[in-house]
Amino acid sequence: MIPFVDLRAAHAEVAEEVREGFDRVLATTAFVQGPDVAAFEQEYAAFSGVPHCVGVGNGTDAVELALRASDLPPGAGAVLPANTFVATAEAVVRAGLRPVLADCDEEFLLLDPASAATAAGTGTAAVLPVHLYGQQAPMTAVHELAARHGLAVVEDAAQSQGSEQAGRPPVGLAATSFYAGKNLGAYGEAGAVLASSAETARAVRLLANHGSEVKYRHETLGFNSRLDTLQAVVLRAKLARLARWNELRRAAADRYADLLSGIDGVRVPRAAPGNVHVWHLYVIRVPERDRVLAGLQEAGVQAQIHYPVPVHLQPAFGDLGHGPGDFPVAEKAAAEILSLPMHPHLTADQQERVAEALDKVLRQL
Ligand SMILES: *Cc1c(COP(=O)(O)O)cnc(C)c1O
């Protein structure tokens, strides 16, 4: 059996540090807003090269709170790609905004600036580029679009921790998730907002803590969405290893590219020019994807699909009034994509077995 991710191996590397950290928190009972939270926020801001970081309850809240802190007109449109995890669209609705969907580009499956420009008509106030699979959407084009239409930019960076893009404008506001399976994963729910402005960071912090900065004084209606101290302990230990873990993912992606390039029918992913990819997911494209997926599962290879149904075809978003054919690139991709096992502890031997299984399944189609 070749697992999709290996959280056990990651834990083994940090186990001792995590246990010591948990003991420290238990000894002081600083379960909520303990010193590890502030320390992690500083460390993650430094790692990301953004001045401010606010830990929150999860990545979906991070997107919602970043949007709410942007003070957009209620009911305004927010442009986002149709092929993303549903949480991006969910957070837009929860922030009191209206999802305005756009298609992705054919090669990298990232927000297509041309499609986003068509979507960004009257009544739109924000754009959410999603750094899907571990590489950044074309941020220079996104910022040009935002400047033209007066849009706030909120990056969904849930899958791109440690990624880079040459020449891009600095991060203004970005949301990330520390869901267990992400490149930087907690042992439960956690997320964060990164902000260049101290004022925006303060607004997020206020919203995430019942609208309160001074205990029992509530300036605004808020939420309970704080980063848990025990999760901060885990995240600090893992953050210290994240750069190396991302390097190991890049090495595994290179190895896959070598192993799969000779297999007929497999389309291998690559980093867009100027992008440093962190390979949260390694997404190939194949014909007859469902049969290939079933064949791999039979061979003990845990492959998955990210994501089988684009946002505009989800029942939950039926009231947007979209149907098949509205975002053809995202729809075609959804029928072809297949995520192979990818994590820092994947071995060359395991990757060879994945390639062999894939070759065999494709030959039998
Ligand atoms: C994981 C993820 C989220 C949501 O994060 P949670 O912590 O699970 O709420 C949002 N957007 C994208 C693209 C994600 O991959």
Closest CA to 356 of 288, 296, 314: 296
Give per-residue pLDDT as tens, 271-315: 999 999 999 999 999 999 999 999 999 999 999 999 999 999 999
CA–centroid distance, 158 to ligand 1, in Å, is 5
End-to-end Cα spacing for the chain: 22
Residue nearest to atom 7 of ligand 1 (CA): 59
Q: What is the mean pLDDT of residues 248-255?
A: 98
Q: Is 158 in the pocket of ligand 1 (CB under 6 A)?
A: yes
Q: Is 177 in the pocket of ligand 1 (CB under 6 A)?
A: yes
| Confidence bin at 159 (pLDDT 50/70/90) | very high
Strand-pair partners of 155: 174
Q: Is 83 in the pocket of ligand 1 (CB under 6 A)?
A: no
Q: Is 55 in the pocket of ligand 1 (CB under 6 A)?
A: no
CA–centroid distance, 307 to ligand 1, in Å, is 12
Mean of pLDDT over the chain: 98
State how far the Cα of 12 lies from the Cα of 7, in Å rounded to an integer: 9
CA–centroid distance, 58 to ligand 1, in Å, is 8
State how far the Cα of 131 lies from the Cα of 83, in Å rounded to an integer: 11
Q: Are 242 and 48 in contact (CB under 8 A)?
A: no
This prediction has a pTM of: 0.98
| Confidence bin at 250 (pLDDT 50/70/90) | very high
Residue nearest to atom 14 of ligand 1 (CA): 158
How distant, in Å, are the alpha carbons of 137, 153, 225, 312 from that of 334? 18, 26, 32, 12
Amino acid at 177: S
Q: Are 312 and 318 in contact (CB under 8 A)?
A: no
Residue nearest to atom 6 of ligand 1 (CA): 59
Q: Is 60 in the pocket of ligand 1 (CB under 6 A)?
A: yes
Give per-residue pLDDT as tens, 172-221: 999 999 999 999 999 999 999 999 999 999 999 999 999 999 999 999 99
* pLDDT above 90 as % of the chain: 99
Domains of the chain with bracketed CATH: 7-103+110-235 (3.40.640.10), 241-363 (3.90.1150.10)
| Confidence bin at 121 (pLDDT 50/70/90) | confident
Strand-pair partners of 101: 80
pLDDT of residue 112: 98
Give per-residue pLDDT as tens, 325-348: 999 999 999 999 999 999 999 999
- pLDDT at residue 122 is higher than 90: no
| Confidence bin at 267 (pLDDT 50/70/90) | very high
Q: What's the token pair of residue 96?
A: 């009191």
CA–centroid distance, 60 to ligand 1, in Å, is 6
CA–centroid distance, 87 to ligand 1, in Å, is 6
Q: Is 231 in the pocket of ligand 1 (CB under 6 A)?
A: no
CA–centroid distance, 19 to ligand 1, in Å, is 27
Q: Is 85 in the pocket of ligand 1 (CB under 6 A)?
A: yes
Atom index in ligand 1 nearest the CA of residue 61 equals 9
State how far the Cα of 251 lies from the Cα of 277, in Å rounded to an integer: 11
- pLDDT at residue 109 is higher than 90: yes
Sign of CA dihedral 307, 313, 318, 321: positive
